């Protein structure tokens, strides 16, 4: 089983990505997920698919690829699980932030050289 990761810019998997990776229905993925209507972040459950931290119950369920792989191996008993992390293409905001970082590092280096 291979996982392609790269949902949004975070590298986390949304429900559709988990559904494709596990070859299960959307309803099954929701049944596997460790969720609680009263608590957006229930305690870790080794028998469930544990989502990443959510600020409130309206946030999307996102899963770390390692958690999906653990669930596939330990709970679903899928023997061979491979995780392939693909770097998402950079967007314009990331490029600007990286340019700012380089500039700040140059300023820091220059100021450090003066003292």
Long-range contacts of 39-48 (CB under 8 A, 24+ apart): 46/74, 47/75, 48/75
Instruction: For residue 23, tell me if it sits in a domain.
Output: yes
Instruction: For residue 41, tell me if it sits in a domain.
Output: yes
Q: Is a pLDDT exceeding 80 seen at residue 87?
A: no
Q: Where are the beta strands (DSSP E) in the chain?
A: 2-5, 82-85
Neighbours of 47 (CB within 10 A): 10
85 three-state secondary structure:
strand
Instruction: For residue 30, tell me if it sits in a domain.
Output: yes
Instruction: For residue 103, tell me if it sits in a domain.
Output: no
Confidence bin at 7 (pLDDT 50/70/90)? very low
Our count of domains for the chain comes to 1
Structural domain that includes position 53: 2-88
Asked whether the beta carbons of 61 and 34 are under 8 A apart, the reply is no
pTM above 0.75, yes or no: no
Q: What is the pLDDT of residues 92-108, one digit of tens each?
A: 888 899 999 999 999 99
Asked whether the beta carbons of 67 and 82 are under 8 A apart, the reply is no
């Amino acid at each position: 089983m291979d996982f392609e990761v790269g949902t949004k810019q975070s590298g986390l998997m949304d429900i559709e990505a988990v559904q494709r990776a596990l070859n299960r229905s959307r309803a099954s993925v929701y049944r596997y997920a460790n969720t609680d209507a009263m608590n957006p972040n229930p305690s870790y459950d080794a028998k469930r698919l544990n989502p990443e931290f959510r600020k409130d119950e309206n946030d999307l369920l996102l899963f770390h690829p390692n958690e999906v792989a653990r669930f596939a191996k330990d709970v679903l008993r899928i023997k061979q699980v491979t995780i392939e992390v693909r770097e998402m293409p950079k967007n314009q905001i990331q490029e600007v932030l990286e340019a700012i970082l380089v500039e700040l590092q140059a300023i820091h280096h220059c100021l450090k050289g003066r003292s």
